Amino acid sequence: MLKVKIFDEEHEKDLENELNLFLETIDSNKVKDIRYQVAVAEDTRDSGTIFCFSALIIYES
């Protein structure tokens, strides 16, 4: 059976760490796909930039 695991972090290093921790818990042969995405938005309240780094892992259970 296929499953998915979704990760969402504000910093790319945090995402990398979370992905690596999860991948240590499953057999690498069971990973079918990893999809990565970055979203960027302007925060009009304090003129900052908001980053959202996310990944989806599709794997066999």
Domain boundaries along the sequence of the chain: 2-60
- Strand partners of residue 7: 55
State mean pLDDT over 21-34.
97
Q: Is the pLDDT of residue 24 over 90?
A: yes
Provide, rounded to the nearest whole percent, the portion of the chain with pLDDT above 70: 100
Q: From the options 3.30.1660, 1.20.120, 3.40.50, 3.30.420, give the CATH code of 2-60.
A: 3.30.1660
User: What 3-state class would DSSP assign to 8?
Assistant: strand
Q: Read off the pLDDT of residues 44-57 as tens digits, 9 standing for 90 and up.
A: 887 789 899 999 99
State mean pLDDT over 20-25.
98
* Rounded distance between C-alpha atoms, residue 57 and residue 25, angstroms: 13
Q: Read off the pLDDT of residues 11-21 as tens digits, 9 standing for 90 and up.
A: 999 999 999 99
What local confidence, expressed as pLDDT, does residue 45 receive? 82
